[in-house]
């Protein structure tokens, strides 16, 4: 169960356990820039993010976050379990929804849903193990490497960024085939590739890909662009890149739930594409590419991704807009007469 998403964990609970968690917690909705807690505050609640991005600072005077947290992440649990005051300043980066569990309710929650306490313990142990491995690699100046089942990409990325390392991050699949590589200069990603995607699009795909498995390695030293990487230069700030990626990942999760028939083929319902005025204008070029790929008949989302130069998140956003505007329909839906 290590590093299992909280919401995935909840689906495995018995109805009475889910009821207990619902009754003994509550949801807080916060706007951008709101402080959740500050150093010295009592550790009276732990939080699980259901939407948005949270940033943590070592002190209120810091201008650079120590870490970013997103959907499914737990924070505040160490102080709740130890009754120690808060050590970090934690605030929202954008609109955030939090599932809040107060310390006073934990005894009853443990009694009514004991697997919840086991889940918290496993997640805490997993984070401690991951932090130990990262610290060991850094202290001995070893190549940072390991299995993606033991490290998450956010931790890997933030370790490279926060330590201002120069080098190359390489990811291989379970067959030891290279699938992704990114070069960093002083902690900033400067170029990269993920399968057929390059640059920023490769970066977004790397972070929204929940099924990614295999191993990673980060070798320090002057970056060397080998023949495998065919990428334009990435210019965004490392922190900005991560925030954008986490927001994209949250939206991608919702889009996949909305497009529940995502394995079925899509077909055109109209003769011509008229990109809706209310739709994101930056996606119009992607929509035109998707529209052309569907010209010869039905097409799957996977085929669209493989034949486009943008990440799945953008493909899903475009398809969602085209379905809502009746340009596309699932092939399993009743065929209607096409309109202009």
* Between 62 and 86, the higher pLDDT residue: 86
Q: pLDDT tens digits for 177-212?
A: 888 999 999 989 999 999 899 999 999 999 988 778
Q: Which residues, listed in sequence order, are joined to residue 6 by a DSSP beta bridge?
A: none
Q: Which helix (H) or strand (E) holds 81?
A: helix 77-82
Dist CA 317 CA 163 (whole Å): 34
* Between 135 and 216, the higher pLDDT residue: 216
Q: Going edge to edge, which strands form the sheet with 188-194?
A: 144-147, 215-220, 167-172, 178-185, 188-194, 197-198
Q: pLDDT tens digits for 70-109?
A: 888 899 999 998 889 999 999 999 899 999 999 999 999 9
Which residues lie closer than 8 Å to 7 by C-beta, 6 or more apart?
50, 71, 72
Domains and CATH numbers, the chain: 6-123 (2.60.120.10), 143-252 (no CATH), 261-330 (1.10.10)
* Between 134 and 19, the higher pLDDT residue: 19
Would you call 270 helix, strand, or coil by DSSP? strand
Q: Which of 162-166, 203-207, 240-244, 293-297 has the lowest mean pLDDT?
A: 162-166
Percent of the chain with pLDDT strictly greater than 70 = 89
Q: What is the pLDDT of residue 63?
A: 72
Which residues lie closer than 8 Å to 123 by C-beta, 6 or more apart?
2, 3, 4, 74, 77
Residue 142's pLDDT band, with cuts at 50, 70 and 90, is very low
């Amino acid at each position: 169960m290590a590093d299992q998403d909280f919401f995935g964990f909840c689906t495995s609970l018995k109805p009475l356990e889910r009821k207990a968690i619902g009754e003994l917690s509550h949801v807080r909705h916060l706007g951008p820039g709101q402080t959740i807690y500050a150093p010295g505050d009592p550790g009276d609640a732990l939080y699980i993010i259901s939407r948005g991005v949270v940033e943590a600072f070592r002190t209120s005077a810091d201008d650079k976050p120590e870490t970013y947290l997103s959907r499914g992440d737990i924070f505040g649990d160490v102080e709740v379990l130890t009754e120690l005051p808060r050590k970090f300043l934690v605030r929202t980066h954008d609109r955030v929804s939090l599932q809040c569990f107060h310390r006073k309710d934990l005894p009853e929650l443990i009694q009514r849903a004991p697997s919840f306490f086991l889940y918290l313990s496993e997640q805490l142990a997993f984070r401690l193990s991951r932090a130990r491995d990262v610290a060991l690699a850094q202290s001995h100046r070893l190549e940072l490497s390991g299995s993606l089942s033991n490290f998450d990409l956010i931790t890997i990325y933030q370790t490279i960024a926060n330590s201002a390392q120069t080098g190359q991050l390489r990811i291989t699949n379970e067959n030891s085939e290279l699938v992704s590589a990114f070069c960093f200069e002083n902690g900033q990603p400067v170029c990269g590739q993920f399968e057929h995607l390059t640059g920023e699009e490769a970066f977004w795909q790397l972070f929204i890909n929940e099924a990614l498995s295999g191993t990673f390695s980060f070798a320090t030293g002057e970056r060397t662009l080998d023949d495998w990487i065919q990428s334009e230069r990435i210019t965004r700030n490392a922190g900005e890149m991560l925030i954008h990626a986490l927001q994209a990942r949250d939206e991608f999760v919702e889009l996949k739930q909305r497009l529940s028939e995502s394995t079925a083929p899509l077909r055109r319902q109209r003769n011509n594409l008229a990109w809706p005025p209310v739709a994101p204008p930056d996606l119009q070029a992607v929509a035109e590419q998707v529209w052309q790929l569907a010209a010869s008949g039905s097409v799957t989302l996977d085929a669209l991704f493989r034949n486009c130069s943008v990440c799945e998140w953008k493909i899903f956003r475009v398809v969602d807009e085209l379905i809502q505007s009746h340009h596309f329909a699932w092939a399993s839906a009743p065929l209607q007469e096409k309109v202009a």
